[in-house]
Amino acid sequence: MVGYLVRRLFLAVFVLWGVATVVFLIVRVVPADPALLIAGSDAPAEQLAQIRQDLGLDQSMLLQYGRFLGGAVTGDLGQSYSMKQPAVTLIGQVLPNTALLAVLACVVALLLAFPLGLIAALRANRAVDRVVTTGSLFTQALPNFWIGVVLLLVFSRTLKWLPSVGLDGPKSLILPTIVLALPFVSVLTRMIRNGLLEVMGESYIQTARAKGLSERIVIFRHAVRNAAIPVITIVGLQFGTLLGGAVVTESVFSFPGIGRLLVTSIQLRDYNVVQACVLVIAAVFVIINLVVDLMYGLLDPRVRLAK
Amino acid sequence: MTAAAPVLAVNATMRRARRARRGVKIRIIGPLVVIGLIIVGAIAIPIAYDFDPMHADLLARLTPPGSVMSDGSTALLGTDQIGSNLFAQIMAGARVSLLVGVATLAISGLVGVALGLLAGHFGGWIDATLMRIADIQLAFPSILLAILIASVLGQGVGNIIIVLSISNWVVFARVARSQVLSLKNREYVEAARTLGAGNWHLMIRTLLPGCMAPVIVVATTQFAQVILTEASLSFLGVGVPLGTPSLGSTIFNGTQYLSTAWWISTFPGVVLVILMLAFGILGDALRDKFDPTLRSA
Amino acid sequence: MTTTQTGPLDPSTSTSGTPLLSVQDLTVEFSTAAGVARALDGVSFEVSAGETLAILGESGCGKSTTAQAIMALLPKPAGAITSGKILYGGRDLAAEPVSKVREVCGTEIAMIFQDPLSSLNPVFRVGAQVAEPFRRRRGMGRRDAWARALDLLKRVGIPDAETRINDYPHQFSGGQRQRIMIAMALALDPKLLIADEPTTALDVTVQKQVMNLLADLQAETGMAMVLISHDLGVVAEVAKRAAIMYAGRIVETGPIRDMYDHPAHPYTSGLLESIPSQSSVGGRLKPIVGSPPNLLDLPSGCAFNPRCPFATDRCRDLAPTLRTPEGWSEGHQAACHLSEEMLAHV
C-alpha cells in the first residue's frame, strides 16, 4: 500500500509539473507576441514595451519559466493586468463558489445515479432498464450550455421562479447545479449499472446465494461493495469533465466562479489570470484524482495488502 | 417454479435476442439516415435561402417561427437579430460543425493512430514518453485545454481545427496502442514477422487493419464530442470568428433576446442534440456490432 | 443399496429407507439466442442420509446444472426447470419460489464451488465470510459468530487460524481457500453437501488432501455428499455410488466399484479407458472420439451414438432409457441398448 501511495504521489507531482509547463508554453510560446494580443496590433511601441516589461516578457524564456514555476509553488501566480490585483486573490474570491457548485452537483448526481443504476442493473434488459439507459444516453447528448440557456428561459424568464444571474441566496444555485449535474448523472448511472451487472455475474455472488442469504444482503452487502470500487475511480475521472462543464455553465448563469473568471479574463486578454485559472483548475483535478486513487487503494484489499 | 412460467421466460428471451439483432441494424441505419439528411440540408439549405451571414435585413429581425416574410415566404424557424432566416443560419452552422468535425477527426485520427501504432509496436521509451505526454494532457479537463489554446490562438475555423485535433489525438492513440498490444502476440503477426516483414510493413499492413474496427467506433463517438466542443468554444467566444455561422455562436447571440425571441437560442440546440444523438447511437451500435468487449459507459 | 423409486414419496415417512434427496425426472431448459437448449432431460437420482453420490461426466453434460437446479441458482431468466421434482424434507423444491428454496440453502443443503478464489468475496475478511451464516441465519452476535468461525477454520486445517482469520481470500493458497469454502458451507451443519468440482482448480497433491478432508468431515458429521467431477479417479475412494451423465441425461448409475469394474455403457468404458494409468505407460492415450454434442442440436436416438464404437441403427432411432441390464443387481442401471453385450465383453 505504501508503495502504491508513493508511486501515485510521484506521478501526481510529475503531472502537476507537466501541466504547469504546458500552460506556460502555451501562453508564452504560442502567441507571436502576447503584448500585441493584449494591446492590439496598432498600439504604440512604448505601450507594447511597457506591457512586455510589466509581464516580465523582456527577460529570457528560461528565467520566465523559473519565475513562473517558483511562483506556482509559493502561491504567486502573477498579477492581473486588468484588475491590478494578484491573480491568486481573484481566484481565492471565486474558487469557493465553484467548489460549492461542484460538490452540490456531485451529491445530486450520486443521489440520483445510484438508485437509477441499481434498478437498471437489477431489471437488466427489461423495460425499466431500457428507459433508464435510453434516458441517460439522451441526457448525455444535451449540450450543457444549451440546456442551461433553455432552463434559464423556462424557469427564469418565463416562469420567473428562479433567478438567472449571479449568486445571491440558495435559489441561484439550483439551475447551475442541475445543468452541471446532468451529464454526470447520465454517465454515473450507466457506470453503476454496468459495474453492478458485471459484479452480479461473479462467482462469489453465487456463493452468497448458496449460503441462503437474502437477495437484499447479496446485492447491498456483497455486490455493491465490490461494484463501488471501480465506480469511485470513474467519479474521479468524470470530475474533470465536471470542472470543464463548470466553466461553460458559469458563463451561462453569470455565476461568480473560477470558470467565469477564466472566460472574462480571456475576453480581457488578461493572460496572467487565464494562466492562473487553468493551472488551478488542472491542479484541483490532479489532486482529486490522487485522492480517488488513494481511496481505491483503501477500499480494495487486494491493492492495500499487495505483497 | 411452475412449468408454465419457464416456457414463457424461454420465449421472452428468444424474442429479446431477435430484437437485439434487429436493433443493431436499426441503430446503424437510422442515425446514418439522419446524418445524411443533415448533411444534405447543410449543403443545400443555405444556398437555397441565399444565406449571407453579413447581410442584415433589420426590418425582418426577430420574427417568430412560422411568420410570413415581406416577400411571401415563410420563415420556418423565425429570424434572428439581424433579420437572417434562422433555419438557413442553423444549417450553415451545421455545415461548419460537420466540416470542423471531419477535418479534426482526419487530423487527430491520423496522428493519433500513427503515434499509437508506434508506441504499441516499438514499446520502450517511445511508449513511455507517449504515455507520459498523454497523462499530462489528460490531466486537463478536455474543454479547459481547448479553451486555453483557443484563447491564445484567437478565433478562426482553422484554429479551432488545430485546437480540437490537439485535444483529440490522445483517444485515438490510446485505442490504437491498446489494440496493437493485444494483437502483437497473435499468430498472424508472428507469422508475418518470421516471413521477414520489416517494422514499417508490420505496422501498416499487419497491425493497422486490426485496429480499424475500434478506431472507427471511437471516431464516431469522438465526432459528437468534437461538434459539442466546437459549439461550446463558439458559445464562449473563442471559436469561430465573427461572421462565420456556428450553432454555438447562434445560441450565444440568442441569449440576449431570450425573453423576446426564444427561438434563436432554442432551435440551434435542437439540431445539435440531434447530431449528437445520431453519432452517439451510431457509435454505440457500431461498438456492439464490432466488439462488445469495448463496452464502457 | 438404494433403488430408484417411481411415484411420489410420502413426506411423513422417516424410515431409513426414505432418501434424503430425491430428484425425479428433472428437466431444465436454457433459452439462448440460438434456441432452447435442454441442459437436463429427465434426470433422476437419490441420495440417502450419510451416503456419497458422485455425478461424473465431461464439461457441459449437465452436472453443474443439476446442482444449480437443486439450489435454485439457475441463471435467470435464461434457465428454468420445466418439469420434474426435487424432493427434500417432504417439499418439492422445484415447485417452490426461489426465496423459499433459499431458506434450505446453507442450513440443510450446502454447496461448494470449483474456483475458490473467485468464489470467495475478495473484499471481506475470511473470518467475516465464515461467520456470516451464523450472524445472518442464526442471529448470533459478532463475537460469538467469529468464535465459531475460528473453530471451523481450525477444523478444516487452516494453520495459524487465530491470526489468519483476519486475512483476505487472496492471501491464501488455492487449497486453503477451498478449505475455507468448506468451512463456510459446513457452518450451519447441513445434512447434504454438494461439491461442484471441488478439486478441479487445485494441484494434484492438494486434491487428495481436500478429498480426504471431505471424507473426514463426512464421517464426523454424518452428512450426505454429492460430488460432482469430471475426474473418475479423484472421487473413487470417497463415493459409494456414481451417476455418469451425458448430454443432460444419466447414462449409467450404480455402485462405483461395480461400474468401474464392469461398465455397462460405452461412454463409461470410454471414460475409464481414457484415464492414463500405470499399465498403459508408454502406450498411446485412448480418448473418446469426437466431442460432446451441441445441446441445441442433439443427435437422434441415443445422444452418444456418433461417438459410440458399437452404435447400431436402433441406437440412432430410439433413445434408450435407464434400465438394469439382464442378470445384474437392481442398483446398477444403464441407458444403453447394448448393455448386455458391453458387460459380456469385459
- pLDDT-derived band of residue C152, with 50, 70 and 90 as boundaries? very high
Query: Based on the structure, what is the number of domains in chain C?
Result: 2
Predicted pLDDT of residue A57:
67
Residue B17 has pLDDT above 70, yes or no: no
Structural domain includes residue C121: yes
Burial class (CB in 10 A: 0-12, 13-18, 19+), B245: buried
Predicted pLDDT of residue C116:
86
Work out the average pLDDT over A266-282: 85
Q: Give the CATH number for residue C225.
A: 3.40.50.300
Predicted pLDDT of residue B143:
86
How many residues appear in chain B?
A: 297
Residue C302 has pLDDT above 90, yes or no: no
Work out the average pLDDT over C307-312: 83
Q: Which of A147-151, B22-26, C125-129, C319-323 has the lowest mean pLDDT?
A: B22-26
| C195 to A15, A233, C55, C67, C227: CA distances (angstroms) | 51, 37, 10, 9, 5
Q: What percent of chain A has pLDDT over 90?
A: 18
Using CA atoms, how far apart are residues A271 and A276, in angstroms rounded to an integer? 8
Shared domain check, C187 and C104: yes
Q: Could you state, in order of their start, the residue ranges of all structural domains in chain B?
A: 29-41+85-296
Using CA atoms, how far apart are residues A277 and C162, in angstroms rounded to an integer? 55
pLDDT tens digits for A51-62? 777 666 667 777
Using CA atoms, how far apart are residues B115 and B127, in angstroms rounded to an integer? 9
Predicted pLDDT of residue B99:
92
Residue C171: domain span: 48-72+97-241
Shared domain check, C142 and C107: yes
> Is C296 touching B (CB cutoff 8 A)?
no
Name every chain A residue with its beta carbon within 8 A of the beta carbon of B276. Answer: 141-143
Structural domain includes residue C230: yes
Work out the average pLDDT over B22-44: 84
Predicted pLDDT of residue A116:
93
- pLDDT-derived band of residue C10, with 50, 70 and 90 as boundaries? very low
Using CA atoms, how far apart are residues A203 and B2, in angstroms rounded to an integer? 27
| Smallest CA–CA distance from A35 into chain B, residue | B152
DSSP string, B241-266: PTTS--HHHHHHHHHTTTTT-THHHH
Work out the average pLDDT over B35-51: 83
Shared domain check, C229 and C107: yes
pLDDT tens digits for B115-168? 988 888 888 888 899 988 998 888 888 888 888 888 888 788 888 899 999 989
Using CA atoms, how far apart are residues A255 and A164, in angstroms rounded to an integer? 9
Contact at CB, B132 and A18, closer than 8 angstroms: yes
Structural domain includes residue C38: no
Residue C192 has pLDDT above 80, yes or no: yes
Predicted pLDDT of residue A49:
75
* Closest alpha carbon to C212 in C186, C237, C231: C237
Q: C212 with C26: CB under 8 angstroms? A: no
B14 closest CB neighbour out of C31, C76, C95:
C31
Interface with B, mutate which of A21, A26, A142, A146 (most B CBs under 10 A): A146
Structural domain includes residue C122: yes
H/E segment holding residue B119:
helix B86-122
> Is B67 touching C (CB cutoff 8 A)?
no
Residue C196 has pLDDT above 50, yes or no: yes
Using CA atoms, how far apart are residues C46 and C322, in angstroms rounded to an integer? 14
Q: A187 with A242: CB under 8 angstroms? A: no
Interface with B, mutate which of A149, A158, A159, A231 (most B CBs under 10 A): A149
Residue C19 has pLDDT above 60, yes or no: yes
Enter the C-alpha cell of residue B74. 415563410
Using CA atoms, how far apart are residues B246 and B250, in angstroms rounded to an integer? 6
Work out the average pLDDT over A166-187: 86
Using CA atoms, how far apart are residues C335 and C247, in angstroms rounded to an integer? 12
Q: Which of A256-270, B44-58, B77-91 has the lowest mean pLDDT?
A: B44-58
Residue type, C216: D
b/e for B13-43, b at 16 or more Cβ within 10 A?
A: bbeeeeeeeeeeeebbeebeebbeebeebbe
Give pTM, 2 decimals.
0.81
Using CA atoms, how far apart are residues A213 and B38, in angstroms rounded to an integer? 55
Predicted pLDDT of residue B3:
42
CA distance B193 to chain C (A): 35
Contact at CB, B297 and A191, closer than 8 angstroms: yes
* Cα–chain center distance at A26: 21
Shared domain check, C207 and C266: no
Shared domain check, C339 and C198: no
Contact at CB, B14 and C95, closer than 8 angstroms: no
* Closest alpha carbon to C237 in C256, C217, C258, C259: C256
Structural domain includes residue C203: yes
Using CA atoms, how far apart are residues B211 and B182, in angstroms rounded to an integer? 10
- pLDDT-derived band of residue A35, with 50, 70 and 90 as boundaries? low
Helix, strand or coil, per DSSP, at residue C38: strand
Contact at CB, C31 and B9, closer than 8 angstroms: yes
Cα dihedral angle (A263, A268, A272, A274), rounded to 10 degrees? 10
Work out the average pLDDT over A301-306: 77
Residue type, A178: I
Shared domain check, C204 and C110: yes
Predicted pLDDT of residue B173:
92
Helix, strand or coil, per DSSP, at residue C19: coil
Predicted pLDDT of residue A206:
92
C81 closest CB neighbour out of B1, B13, B17:
B1
Enter the C-alpha cell of residue C98. 426461489
Higher-confidence residue: B292 or A124? A124
- pLDDT-derived band of residue C9, with 50, 70 and 90 as boundaries? very low
Please, what sign has the CA dihedral across residues C208, C209, C214, C216?
A: positive
Predicted pLDDT of residue C4:
45
Predicted pLDDT of residue B296:
39
Residue B197 has pLDDT above 80, yes or no: no
pLDDT tens digits for C317-343? 888 888 887 778 778 888 888 888 777
Structural domain includes residue C333: yes
Please, what sign has the CA dihedral across residues B253, B256, B257, B258?
A: positive
Work out the average pLDDT over A38-55: 70
Contact at CB, A143 and B232, closer than 8 angstroms: yes
Q: What percent of chain B has pLDDT over 70?
A: 90
Contact at CB, A285 and B140, closer than 8 angstroms: yes
Predicted pLDDT of residue B282:
87
- B: neighbours with 3+ CB pairs under 8 Å? A, C
Task: Centre a 10 Å sphere on the Cβ of residue C169 and count the other Cβ atoms it contains.
Answer: 24
Specify the CATH number of the domain B29-41+85-296: 1.10.3720.10
Q: Which of A164-168, A265-269, B221-225 has the lowest mean pLDDT?
A: A164-168
Using CA atoms, how far apart are residues A36 and A30, in angstroms rounded to an integer? 13
Residue C191 has pLDDT above 90, yes or no: yes
Using CA atoms, how far apart are residues A306 and C155, in angstroms rounded to an integer? 28
- C: neighbours with 3+ CB pairs under 8 Å? A, B
> Is B58 touching A (CB cutoff 8 A)?
no
Residue A1 has pLDDT above 80, yes or no: no
**Can you list the alpha helix ranges (DSSP code H) found in chain A?**
2-29, 34-39, 45-54, 61-74, 87-122, 127-140, 144-151, 171-200, 203-210, 215-217, 224-253, 258-267, 271-299, 301-304
* Cα–chain center distance at C274: 21
Contact at CB, B9 and C95, closer than 8 angstroms: no
DSSP classification of residue B58:
G
* Owner of C-alpha cell 494562466: A275
Work out the average pLDDT over B102-122: 90
Work out the average pLDDT over A8-24: 88
Predicted pLDDT of residue A88:
85
Using CA atoms, how far apart are residues B258 and B244, in angstroms rounded to an integer? 22
Task: Indicate the pairing of strand C249-255 with strand C21-32.
Answer: unpaired
Structural domain includes residue C40: no
* Cα–chain center distance at C122: 26
Work out the average pLDDT over B50-57: 74
Mean pLDDT of chain A: 84
| Smallest CA–CA distance from B15 into chain C, residue | C33
Residue A108 has pLDDT above 90, yes or no: yes
Interface pTM (ipTM) of the complex?
0.84
Shared domain check, C321 and C269: yes
Mean pLDDT of chain C: 85
Name every chain A residue with its beta carbon within 8 A of the beta carbon of C119. Answer: 203-204, 206-207
Structural domain includes residue C143: yes
Enter the C-alpha cell of residue A49. 514595451
Q: Which of A4-8, A259-263, B202-206 has the lowest mean pLDDT?
A: B202-206
* Closest alpha carbon to C50 in C219, C210, C242: C219
Residue C13 has pLDDT above 60, yes or no: no
Work out the average pLDDT over A62-73: 79
Predicted pLDDT of residue C6:
42
